[in-house]
Structure 1
């Protein structure tokens, strides 16, 4: 009986049955893999490992449909290792024990095992730790595949024993090459004109497997002549955008939106804002983050920016989707074009750091209230200068703890409204210096 997890041809039921196009076009050598030359080329990391004969455990990180499983199979072929494939979604502790025991038996007969773990980030910490002793003693060579950032999803101990290889999303040029292979396999050309062909490639959204599935659908059509892009869109639906609201895409896209706003590029900011909405992001999350951008990156350079964001948020709450999303989009545009300053943000962080360093230093006594006689006898409030009594409304007194050197935290920039605030600040600095001299 074949091993439960054995993925050799003999273990695959229905070997003579019709095979999907994606399976028929699976590369037979690493040199046939499309779009990953940066790791597979002769001088690239994986190519160099194979040439030197010292392949180590790997984590293949990349989006769906770019060849992670195929590369793992071909690595096993290239190194004469027995290939075993499991999925973290369907494999429990008992299953893992069987895999490790089978690998140990093979090792005794001189056969190594390449264990391919799909969706490896789905294993919990204890399960991930379970791989370590078998990796260290050579029982298995681990190749894990993940669509999530390994830095966040995999244990440090596991990462220290495996090299992370980043696989790229397939470009239109890569997808075109794959489409040409499919046409050769099927023995006929796709029934599209140029724009329709490009539209088909775009529908795959960088996923080679998705493209081959679309082509397989197309191969069953009866078509006279060539279809244009409009006819194609009626027959095929665009592939759903890759977006995980709790994963890498979420953090990557909000970072792109934030940096586009900070970089004063309204077009890029609107694009990333739209990408997140199209992916199903909660508009309220975007409203909160956009308001954060106004506070962090614009601040007092345009005090109205904060209000614009809150008004847009309130408008969304009243109108809902999709009408209210326009108000948020307008807030994004306003922020991108507003003068930028993080002086308030920097000042706040510096003040917080100083507050932590100075512990529980009390305020100077002259600015403490003295509601009782005992407090007055202790000097509370003594010598306080009421600023409104000064001709210019400024006393210039010290408001920091008496044992603490005066801090300088807020340093406004020469942009937007902060230019005026800088003028005021400079004015008070001169007065304070004059009063204290």
Structure 2
């Protein structure tokens, strides 16, 4: 093949096109960050100690899957990553692309590779490719023809092939918090001028975005385009946008104060107060899905196995709300709220998680005992993997009482169920198993 020069290579849009959008481009495009340090709300990834920050410092990227809600910066991160390490950037969308587009992208990346240019291939909505299409990425990722950066709003464990996941690092982007969203509005106002909103309406606009930066900037652009005289209050903002916006106390802490009051009322088993704060939030225009996320968290943090149905009720309420919408679906949220308030409480699972996570970080290099290691090959069997494993189903009462802790690490007591609800039965089981283990050690 004839020598290829840089000018012969397939070209992606030049950097100035990405860095300098048209004057009439949407506000969200005009405010796209120009460097990784300008990304808001994802410092855990893009900061100096974050996974992406470390890769950029080393000048070398691994394939990755960016998993997070809409409007959190996945596309911006991918573009800026290519610039940061001097890679060729190519992008396709699984929504609009098929096999022919993939073949073309890989062929162009192959030509670039022969000329010594690495390609970062960004695949938006990668979960929309079927399993066979996802398998098509593997040889090109393995050979280094492309460094894959996929973006998805779906759980990669369910949406992506295990083979593809094993070759990519999953990085989780956070929903943008109020601080990050306010920084976006500050940037918008620096470019376009003050928004026609009073302080409460600005806070309401931020709350209504529910962590989606793109949505927030689109709403701000709508306000700018209307050339409104004066300032809107929360009620005026809701009427103008034709959607409910959260109306909270003048100190702007209402969003956090009310969710705190709801959480603590639930924890205190007061269904009447919990229902009141739920009503305050929903009638003020809070996003129902935000409230549902907090209820789901509460079900695991403050109830756990004291009533395993609590989590099921919350997830069912989320499905019902998705199916019915407002206002009909809000009754399902009420049902979940009342269930949580009247359920027995336990934070044993929450406490166990914190203790186990701490222990894992301190002892993460310890190997499990050889008798419970998998032995798929003869060599592994010969060196003792799986030897003397006690198969519990063949033991009396289906319980062997074996030791499963790493050598040199004594058994830990992370999970301590309470004498309430279903956990009362769990206590009895644990006591019975502990007694059998003691009998085995003494035998």
Normalising by structure 1, we get a TM-score of 0.59
Matched residues in 1 for 2:422 and 2:101: separation? 65
Instruction: Map 1:38-49 onto structure 2 (within 5 A).
Output: 38-49=44-55
Kept in 2, the 8 Å contact 1:39–1:47? The answer is yes
1:297 aligns with 2:307: yes
Q: Which residue of 2 aligns with 1:69?
A: 75
Kept in 1, the 8 Å contact 2:208–2:287? The answer is no
Q: Which residue of 1 aligns with 2:341?
A: 336
Q: Which residue of 2 aligns with 1:23?
A: 29
Matched residues in 2 for 1:86 and 1:100: separation? 11
In structure 2, do the counterparts of structure 1 residues 15 and 34 end up closer, same or farther at CA, with 3 Å as the change threshold? Answer: closer
Q: Which residue of 2 aligns with 1:212?
A: 217
1:240 deviates by 10
The number of aligned residues is 310
1:78 deviates by 1.0
Which consecutive residues of structure 2, in runs of 5 or more, have no partner in the other structure? 1-6, 247-264, 291-295, 311-325, 347-391, 400-417, 425-443
1:136 aligns with 2:146: no
RMSD: 4.7
Q: Which residue of 2 aligns with 1:252?
A: none
In structure 2, do the counterparts of structure 1 residues 104 and 268 end up closer, same or farther at CA, with 3 Å as the change threshold? Answer: farther
Which consecutive residues of structure 1, in runs of 5 or more, have no partner in the other structure? 242-259, 281-285, 300-304, 306-320, 342-355, 360-403, 408-412, 420-437
Q: Once the two structures are superposed, what CA deviation does each residue of 1:115-151 show, in whole Å capped at 9, x if it has no partner?
A: 0000111111111111111011111010000011112
Q: Which residue of 1 aligns with 2:178?
A: 172
Kept in 1, the 8 Å contact 2:63–2:148? The answer is yes
Instruction: Map 1:28-427 onto structure 2 (within 5 A).
Output: 28-186=34-192, 188-238=193-243, 266=271, 278=288, 297=307, 326=331, 329=334, 333=338, 336-339=341-344, 357=393
In structure 2, do the counterparts of structure 1 residues 63 and 263 end up closer, same or farther at CA, with 3 Å as the change threshold? Answer: farther
SS class of match (2:220): helix
Kept in 1, the 8 Å contact 2:306–2:345? The answer is no
In structure 2, do the counterparts of structure 1 residues 138 and 324 end up closer, same or farther at CA, with 3 Å as the change threshold? Answer: closer
Matched residues in 1 for 2:129 and 2:157: separation? 14
SS class of match (2:157): helix
Matched residues in 2 for 1:38 and 1:129: separation? 30
Kept in 1, the 8 Å contact 2:198–2:233? The answer is yes
1:323 deviates by 7.5
Normalising by structure 2, we get a TM-score of 0.58
